[in-house]
């Protein structure tokens, strides 16, 4: 249950459209719903502004589809995201819950209204695109419209520098890079916006499947960069979303509500 659904329920009780006993029954499901194989956290959207996401690996197609259905049923407007979904999970989730947007292995239902913050999404190379797709889909689910700059790694730094104005204007920047991960340091030195760095498992032998990029980003001399785990495009998008959310306010933008503009 998200804030809009809870507010609607309380208004119905006040107007007499819903009996208090029926409201109480609905509120019993607010903390979580026990599906037997999963306990779906319906309270997370109220706490964090973001509903619980469904992580595909380790779940059967039917389990993934059932969790998605539960999240959709208990909320009026919170986005629902299924990540790292297999082809079988995508088919099952679509069959049971139509109207999804599919980007790579990420599925999104009921994306949030558009926000005004400018988010820049950079990839060092074309091989980083699967991680960028996951990040972009998650950002879009929460109302952001990321501008993507692809293949702007440090081996050809001129490709990045021609977009210096975009870096200066951005409200947040996500940098996705493998190899040695140097792009995050360069970007961190060019913009004052929050920079979220995502190391990827792209690279040759000494890249150690992303560990070298991860350590390089953690050891950056550009102060204030946030670093998420290897290939974690979803996590990077959530860091961006948290930048513009404070407790008690919805993450989704509503231009009619004077109290929802994050500082």
Q: What is the pLDDT along the chain (263 residues), one digit of tens a residue?
A: 556 677 777 888 888 888 888 777 766 666 767 678 887 777 677 677 777 889 999 999 999 999 999 888 876 678 899 999 999 999 999 999 998 999 999 999 999 889 999 999 999 999 999 999 999 999 999 999 999 999 999 999 999 999 999 999 999 999 999 999 999 999 999 999 999 999 999 999 999 999 999 999 999 999 999 999 999 999 999 999 988 875 545 555 544 444 343 33
Number of independent structural domains in the chain:
2
Q: Are residues 101 and 133 in the same domain?
A: no
Q: Are residues 103 and 208 in the same domain?
A: no
Q: In what order do the strands lie in the sheet containing 226-227?
A: 147-149, 119-123, 172-177, 195-199, 226-227
What tokens appear for 196 in the block? 């979220």
pLDDT at 248 (0 to 100): 47
Q: Are residues 101 and 171 in the same domain?
A: no
CB atoms within 10 A of CB 20: 9
Q: Are residues 131 and 208 in the same domain?
A: yes
Instruction: Say if CB 193 and CB 172 are below 8 A apart.
Output: yes
Q: Are residues 171 and 218 in the same domain?
A: yes
Range of the domain at 15: 3-109
Q: Are residues 161 and 186 in the same domain?
A: yes
Q: Quick check: is 262 in a domain?
A: no
Q: Are residues 90 and 148 in the same domain?
A: no
Q: Quick check: is 158 in a domain?
A: yes
**Contact residues for 72 (Cβ-Cβ < 8 A; gap 6+):** 80, 97, 109, 110
What tokens appear for 121 in the block? 């999404």
What CATH number does the domain containing 152 carry?
3.40.50.1970
* DSSP conformation letters of 52-103: PPEE-TTS-HHHHHHHHHHHHHT-SS--EEEES--HHHHHHHHHHS-S-EEE
Q: In what order do the strands lie in the sheet containing 80-83?
A: 54-55, 80-83, 106-109, 101-103
Q: Are residues 138 and 204 in the same domain?
A: yes
Query: Helix 20-27 crosses helix 3-15 at what angle (to 10 degrees)?
Result: 160
pLDDT at 53 (0 to 100): 87
pTM: 0.81
Q: How many residues does the chain have?
A: 263
Q: Are residues 83 and 185 in the same domain?
A: no
Q: Quick check: is 25 in a domain?
A: yes
Q: Are residues 127 and 179 in the same domain?
A: yes
């Amino acid at each position: 249950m998200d804030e809009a659904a809870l507010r609607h329920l309380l208004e119905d009780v006040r107007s007499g459209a819903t009996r208090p006993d029926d409201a109480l029954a609905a509120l019993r499901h607010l903390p979580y719903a026990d599906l037997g194989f999963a306990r779906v956290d319906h309270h997370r959207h109220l706490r964090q502004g973001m509903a619980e996401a469904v992580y595909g690996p380790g779940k059967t197609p039917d389990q993934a589809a059932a969790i998605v259905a539960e999240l959709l049923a208990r909320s009026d407007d919170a986005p629902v995201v299924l990540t790292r979904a297999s082809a079988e999970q995508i088919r099952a989730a679509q069959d049971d819950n139509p109207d999804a947007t599919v980007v790579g292995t990420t599925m999104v239902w009921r994306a949030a209204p558009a926000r005004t913050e400018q988010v820049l999404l950079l990839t060092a190379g074309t091989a980083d695109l699967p991680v960028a797709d996951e990040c972009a889909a998650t950002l879009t689910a929460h109302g952001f419209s990321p501008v993507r700059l692809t293949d702007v790694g440090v081996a050809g730094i001129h490709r990045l520098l021609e977009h210096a104005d975009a870096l200066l204007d951005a409200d947040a920047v996500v940098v996705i890079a493998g190899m040695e991960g140097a792009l995050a340091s360069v970007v961190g030195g060019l913009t004052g916006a929050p920079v979220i760095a995502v190391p990827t498992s792209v690279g040759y032998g000494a890249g150690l499947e992303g560990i070298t990029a991860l350590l390089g980003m953690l050891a950056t001399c550009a102060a204030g960069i946030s670093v998420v785990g290897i290939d974690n495009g979803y996590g990077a998008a959530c860091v961006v979303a948290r930048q513009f959310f404070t407790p008690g306010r919805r993450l989704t933008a509503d231009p009619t509500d004077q109290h929802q503009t994050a500082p």
